[in-house]
Amino acid sequence: MKTRTKALSILLLLTLSGGCAVLSGAEPAPPRVSVVPLDRERPGVVSAGSLRFRGALELSGGGIGGLSGLWVAPDGGRFVAVGDTGLVATGGLEYDAAGRLSGATDLRARRLAVEEGLSKRKQRTDAEELARLPDGGWLVALERDHRILRYPSGDSGPDGAPVSVPVPPGVTEDTPPNSGLESLTRLSDGRFLTIEEGEDGAVQERRAWVTRGAALPERRGDWLPLTYRTAPRFRPTGVAPLPDGGALVLERRVSLLGGWSSRIVRVAATDLRTGAVADGRELARLEAPLLNDNFEGIATRSGPAGETLVYLVSDDNFSSLQRGYLVMFALSGE
């Protein structure tokens, strides 16, 4: 087996088992940003399924990596992301004259405080998803020690002392450590939706919950159950709202032979209700030869022409064999 192939196999095995690279105490290299195409061999490719490609960046250095949850400002001017090593990354976003994503500025990374303050224990800081609240506060979903934390209002992302928000029934008791609430968002009607990543295997049904109303849950019973159905061997890793009340779900698959593959799935608003089985429609699939990696975060906003703009971020596990991408698409045919 060639050295690179062997290394990739080891990396994939670590990913499947929940492993990740360990951050060293060395001073990180300066942040670097480079523009990347959707297809390196075919520069004329400008779409993936129903999504029109609107630019992609590779982010590296500056201590930024392992990004799993993403938020983009309504005007597209900045982003906040959280990572599974207890990281908060922020930066400004730039666009060219055609509105394509063309650069990122002022990239910064800091540690995410949890209930006991700053912690280096992955068990306590494995942040997987991010959502903005109407009052400017933030929700962060964490796994291993499964919980949802609410942070005070602030434009620089989740900071300060958090308070716990009740998680759905059964999550703390039944969910495997590395298969928790990777997907969390506030829907356009104000309700909250969360989806459990679930374990690997052929089972396509994943547990999901929506809140009774627009208020944050005050007790576990305020989360109402439904089922989310993935494609075979895919796992949900992120979710973002759509203006019509539906949602886009990001799914990921990884295999030793096929490498990374991601799906972007549209779920109708009518399927986001108690007892429903949400079996969405695939809009696009990112896999070789298209740009692909360990995509875990998704965010949406309205574009200048009223279209829905979709952003994805990948978790590079701080590995030289992976890449940290921030990708932008426009949803066609709405």
**Residue ranges per structural domain of the chain:** 3-14+30-331
Whether 313 and 67 have beta carbons less than 8 Å apart is answered as: yes
For the chain, residues with pLDDT lower than 50 are 1-11, 13-14, 16-24
3-class secondary-structure state, position 76: coil
Q: Which residues pair with 87 in a beta bridge?
A: 83, 111
The answer as to CATH 2.115.10 being correct for domain 3-14+30-331 is: yes
Q: Which residues contact 61 (CB under 8 A, 6 or more apart)?
A: 28, 29, 30, 31, 32
Q: What is the pLDDT of residue 26?
A: 60
Kindly tell me the sign of the dihedral angle through the C-alpha atoms of 156, 158, 162, 166.
positive
Q: CA 193 from chain center: how many Å?
A: 14
- From 230, 216, 218, select the one nearest 184 (Cα to Cα): 216
Dump pLDDT digits (tens) for 300-318.
Answer: 999 999 999 999 999 999 9
Which residue carries 């596990």 as its tokens?
A: 317
pLDDT in tens, 21-45: 444 456 778 999 999 999 999 989 9
What pLDDT score was predicted for residue 29? 83
Is the distance from CB of 50 to CB of 100 less than 8 angstroms? Answer: no
DSSP 114: B
Alpha helices (runs of H) in the chain, residue ranges in sequence order: 3-16, 122-125, 171-174
**Does residue 328 contact residue 54 with C-beta atoms inside 8 Å?**
yes
